[in-house]
Amino acid sequence: MDADTPGRDARTMADTAAMSPFNPRRAAQRALVTMGVNTVIAFAISAVNSDPLWISLLYAQCIGLLIWAMIDGGRHLLSPNGWPGVPRMAVLVVVSVLLAYFFGSVIVNLLLGRDAFLSMSEHPRTTLGFVLMSLLMGGVGAYHFTARAMLSQARLAQEEAQRQASEARLKLLESQLEPHMLFNTLANLRALIGTDPARATAMLDRLNDFLRATLAASRSATGQHTLAAEFQRLRDYLELMAVRMGPRLRYTLDLPEALATQTLPPLLLQPLVENCIRHGLELSLQGGEIHVSARRNGATLELEVSDTGVGCDSEPQAGFGLAQVRERLATAYPERSSLHWQARPGAGTRALLTLPLQTTGPTP
């Protein structure tokens, strides 16, 4: 599996939490950061006035926490699921800083037994300086706390767009695969009509049953179906081909019960089985056997399609099947899947697909 997948999953979970209306854990983290900044400001205040450090801490924490609470709370009220926009955020910061500085100073003065408006009446310039500094810090803090939400929103939108694009591409690839399979089957049916009408009728009945099941499965809303369904479609297709080829076609399908609920794109193995018939067994007078199996290998699912046909020297470059499967794998599992193809003259072919094992389903 892709080594970066756990990291992407963790970021997605964090992004979802960041975009939620209220998350207590993230609110506590922001409060702690605010208290740390307030402490630094308190040391700066104590350096320019005669109040003891603890009094400066009291002013800084009270005013600073009120600023954070008003900005953070106001942001959620203005836009519960994201960023309220620069104009509204700027107004919110200014209003929050002014109100928080006024009420915070009054509260601390009353707690200390001082005149409620002492600092504003006796030290107007100092008060103005601290208000301007609070505006600056409030703006920086608001940007810091909301920038991640903006980036998260953009990342989630991008991931959703990529997901929809991948699903659309998979549907397009499936729409290419189905007519290709159908045209090949109809060509075989046409050849049988002139030579063996009875077998042609039987093949037509099989084709009708196969298309009903296959087209219904390939239209799933999720773009995925189970391995059990995939193997059943392969069985239907092979039975369809057996009507024409008779005893020249033999096959085995090996699907462990524990892997039956694993999901994958519909008809992923179909082109590989079709290749085995067209380029391997049909060219041999004796025919041969097709073997399809599924197995678990650590955190990956391995799907193997092999045949005992005529084989070849190298991988077909112009073939539809292998290119189509590779493209569908790259779309459904980017950088987390592969297709290895092997062949030898007279010894058949072997295709091995590896893709991520779904951890939500049962495993052996």
The whole-number pLDDT of residue 5 equals: 43
Q: Say if CB 223 and CB 171 are below 8 A apart.
A: yes
pLDDT of residue 165: 59
Q: Which amino acid is at 334?
A: P
Q: What share of the chain is helix, strand, coil (3-state, %, to 5)?
A: 65, 10, 25
Mean pLDDT, residues 176-193 taken together: 69
Confidence of residue 248 (pLDDT cuts 50, 70, 90): very high
Structure tokens at 158: 């991008």
Within this chain, do residues 150 and 208 fall inside the same structural domain, yes or no?
Answer: no
What pLDDT band is residue 196 in, cutting at 50, 70 and 90?
A: confident
- At residue 106, the pLDDT reads 83
pLDDT of amino acid 297: 94
215 membership: H or E segment, kind and range:
helix 197-218
Of 143, 158, 173, which marks where a domain is finished? 158
The mean pLDDT of 304-324, rounded to a whole number, is: 77
Same domain, 142 and 221: no
What is the structure's pLDDT at 6? Answer: 41
- Residue 274 is predicted with a pLDDT of 86
The yes-or-no verdict on residue 128 having pLDDT over 50 is yes
| Structure token digits, residue 251 | 């096959």
> Cα(42)–Cα(61) distance, rounded to whole angstroms?
8
Show which of 158, 188, 214 is a domain's final residue: 158
CATH of the domain at 276: 3.30.565.10
**Which among 158, 184, 206 is the end of a domain?**
158
Q: Looking at residue 205, what is its pLDDT?
A: 82
Interatomic CA distance for residues 151 and 128, integer angstroms: 34
pTM higher than 0.75 for the full model? no
In a domain, 171, yes or no: no
Question: How many domains does one find in the chain?
Answer: 2
CB 241 within 8 A of CB 181: no
> What's the pLDDT score for residue 343?
86
pLDDT of residue 305: 96
Q: Are 128 and 236 in a shared domain?
A: no
